[in-house]
Amino acid sequence: MMRRAGIGRSLSAPAFSLLAATRRSSTRSPLSRLVVLPVSLLFLLVVAPLAAPAVVLDLAIERRVPVLGGKSFGDSGAYELIEGTVRFGFDPQSEANARVADIALAPRNAEGLVEAKANFVVVQPVDPAKRRGMGLFDVPNRGRRLGLATLNGGGLELGGDATLDPENTAHWGDGFLMEEGLTVLWVGWQADVAEFPGAMRLEVPVAHQADGTKIRGLARSDWVVDAPAESLPLAIAGHRPIPAADPAAPQNVLTRRTSRDGEREIVPRGRWAFDRARTAIVAKTGRFWNTAFEPGFIYELVYVAEDPPLVGLGFAAYRDFASHALFDADCPFPVKRAVADGTSQSGRFLRHLLYEGFHVDEAGRSVFDGVVIRIGGAGRGGFNHRFAHPGRVGNPFENFFYPGDEFPFASRSLAYAGRRAGLLDRARATGALPRIFQINTGYEYWGRAASLIHMTPDGESDVEPLENERLYHIAGAPHYSLPFPPADATETAPGLYRGSAVDTSPIHRALLVHMLEWIERADPPPPTNVPTIAAGTLVLPEQIAFPLAELVRPRRPHVAHPFDFGPNWSRGILDFEPPRPVPPFAIRMPGTDRFGNEATGIRPLELRVPIGTFAPFALRTGAPFAADEMVGYVGSFAPFARSDEERRTGDRRPSFTSLYPSAEAYRAQVAQALDALASEGFLLPRDRAKAEAAALARQAWMTDSSTPDDR
């Protein structure tokens, strides 16, 4: 099915900044955004109405089928799956698009618009009368639909096929989102997504000089080499690379170093070369040197690239897909309200989108009623600059010194280095500020500098969130959880496992319901819940000591640096690669309790009725170098000794049986903790039985005496 949307010119920049935001629905949230029009402009709009912006040029539906054979999801009834492609036309003269890097240098169609094309997926109730009118716009993460896993409990493969099967019950989880009556929508926004079935991608043009000649500039790739490698790809994790423009360019320089901040050693040009496609480097054979890139080093390549793709159009595409569903009467998946929802990379995408002001469309209308930013930490990302790698982000010991950890971090305007700025300054200036949740786990404090979203850059004072904003810390949780019980192969020291099974999904589901009720009924959500400097619960990393010898702090947590990318960075051009470093911003961590678990924030059931220590980080134990640095995303787990007699030397924690003298005592504490989570607003009634069953499984594992050495 092919449908052409209405085409017309965008509003001029003055009209964009003044036009009132309107909704199809007469029901509006209390924080509706309106911009008052001067009488003179009102007169002009009456006598000479402006054409609607040409945003969605056409929409092609390629598949429209029932979900699970027409299964009914509670009061919402049957759902349908819609898949297809959407073609956008962006006005480069519109103020709404002005902050897309290089948009002035993009090719234009006959109507003067910059085009891009994406695939989309929508699930909605078949019966229009049963649709809630609320669209959940889940931002794809590296081309994958994480929302069905995070919120529905659906199966997720981080590699391989991502095709959504309408007949596979595992893909749809327990149907939570459908039973809420939501329309759930995804659209491709990332231009460098890897090639795999079902990938959500945005196809974008490349920029050229005004005279049509190619644009060249510096790009950079780096690798932590833990095993001998004969080749190193320029892109991360199979993403689309930015090829080298000229293999012989003198600016192409490969270095290596043994630590994050170590001195770089130039690798002689005769020892490496670009492959034929210029998308990887290969080690060259030599008489007196190894024929592979050696483990124990961080390799870094700065090289000349050309034809920069307009990756910043991802913000405009995501915004305009939502705008189409909200405001185009012919849209086959209409909604009346919209919540943006993103996890990890997608959460950083939403922080960056709000920072750039892409929540307002070309007609000056506010697009999102709510924004839920999950585990994004304090970062933004490489989402809107020349030769950007959207797939890369600075991690504790991977992808070093890329744009993303940049001031400002907090929503309120703060002073730093002679500048005053806040993450939401542009959004606040439009008068179109959505309701916002920022939800982080313990990992984001250690691995994504999350403390900077609610403290000053010097780490001396707390910063209050805005009235329309809530900040939540899910204590002790990793970036993503691994199954329980831990596998024997994950034991990195006696009684210490790499990976944590803290389950955050019930809390995420409860918070989503709070966001929906905040928008629809103005019911306030739970108050901000994060550790603070004033209360002594947000502390310096060196103040944290764990009560067992096997669990130690990493060499250092991830820290944010105010890098100097050069004089043209404000235009999205990196002149300095690698960037010139300056001293980092401050960093603080949530404090811990007597068990070594994080003591504040939203404490999940695993921490309220603990069977051990759940640390939100893990170390590179066993790596050929930097073994005391953090490994990305996963946590650690150290179970209590079963009894006082079995407690190891150096373990100062109470034993399991001393905490829970009987099975009944354990179960009573579980019931009490579940009651508390529900009363605090962090557990839905539908999720109680599953949480209780998981707690009982942990008890059974701890008390199983069939394998006394390893349970």
Position 49 scores a pLDDT of: 38
| Token pair belonging to 21 | 């935001």
In terms of domains, do 235 and 141 share one?
no
Q: Which among 319, 351, 374 is the end of a domain?
A: 374
Q: Which among 306, 322, 357 is the end of a domain?
A: 306
- Per residue in 423-456, pLDDT (tens digit) is 999 999 988 899 999 999 999 999 999 999 999 9
Query: Within a domain: residue 413?
Result: no
Domain that holds residue 294: 216-306
Position 236 scores a pLDDT of: 92
Position 26 scores a pLDDT of: 32
**Quick one: how far is CA 195 from the chain centroid?**
20
In terms of domains, do 54 and 168 share one?
yes
In terms of domains, do 188 and 74 share one?
yes
Query: Within a domain: residue 410?
Result: no
> In sequence order, what are the beta bridge partners of 299?
223, 256
In terms of domains, do 7 and 42 share one?
yes
CA atoms of 401 and 294, how far apart (whole Å): 22
pLDDT at 413 over 60: yes
Position 291 scores a pLDDT of: 74
| Token pair belonging to 665 | 């005592």
Q: Which among 280, 306, 332 is the end of a domain?
A: 306
Query: Within a domain: residue 248?
Result: yes
Position 430 scores a pLDDT of: 87
Query: Within a domain: residue 442?
Result: no
Question: How many structural domains comprise the chain?
Answer: 2
CA atoms of 658 and 643, how far apart (whole Å): 7
Query: Within a domain: residue 156?
Result: yes
> In sequence order, what are the beta bridge partners of 281?
232, 274
CA atoms of 369 and 336, how far apart (whole Å): 10
Residue 309, CA atoms < 13 Å, CB-side half-sphere: 21
CA atoms of 478 and 448, how far apart (whole Å): 12
In terms of domains, do 225 and 87 share one?
no
pLDDT at 25 over 90: no
Confidence of residue 285 (pLDDT cuts 50, 70, 90): confident
Confidence of residue 352 (pLDDT cuts 50, 70, 90): very high
CA atoms of 553 and 542, how far apart (whole Å): 8
Burial status of residue 667 (CB atoms within 10 A of its CB: 0-12, 13-18, 19 or more): middle
In terms of domains, do 159 and 195 share one?
yes
In terms of domains, do 33 and 80 share one?
yes
Hey, which bits of 74-212 come out as E strands?
Answer: 79-90, 114-125, 134-138, 183-187, 202-203
In terms of domains, do 78 and 182 share one?
yes
- Per residue in 552-599, pLDDT (tens digit) is 999 999 999 999 999 999 999 999 999 998 899 999 999 999 999 999
In terms of domains, do 88 and 194 share one?
yes
Query: Which of 553, 443, 450 is closest to 499 using CA atoms?
Result: 443
Position 15 scores a pLDDT of: 33
CB of 172 closer than 8 Å to CB of 67: yes
Print the SS3 string covering 595-657.
CCCECCCECCHHHHCCCEEEECCEECCCCCCCCCCEECCCCEEEECCCCHHHCCCCECCCCHH
What residues have CB less than 8 Å from 185, skipping those under 6 apart? Answer: 120, 121, 122, 135, 136, 137, 138, 321, 322, 325, 333, 335
What is the rounded average pLDDT of the residues 612-630?
A: 97
* 3-class secondary structure, 130: helix
Confidence of residue 499 (pLDDT cuts 50, 70, 90): very high
E strand or H helix at 508, and its extent?
helix 505-521
- Per residue in 72-83, pLDDT (tens digit) is 999 999 999 999
Q: How is 217-233 classified by DSSP, letter by letter?
A: EEEEEEEEESS-BSEEE
Query: Within a domain: residue 290?
Result: yes
Position 16 scores a pLDDT of: 32
Name residue, tokens 């300095």.
Answer: 576
Query: Within a domain: residue 420?
Result: no
What is the rounded average pLDDT of the residues 477-485?
A: 96
Supply the mean pLDDT for the chain. Answer: 91
CA atoms of 697 and 83, how far apart (whole Å): 40
The pTM of the full predicted model, rounded to 2 decimals, is 0.92
In terms of domains, do 101 and 222 share one?
no
Instruction: Please state, for a pLDDT cut of 90, what percent of the chain lies above it.
Output: 86
Query: Within a domain: residue 155?
Result: yes
In terms of domains, do 166 and 263 share one?
no
Position 31 scores a pLDDT of: 35
- Per residue in 99-126, pLDDT (tens digit) is 999 999 999 999 999 999 999 999 999 9
In terms of domains, do 159 and 235 share one?
no
CA atoms of 296 and 294, how far apart (whole Å): 6
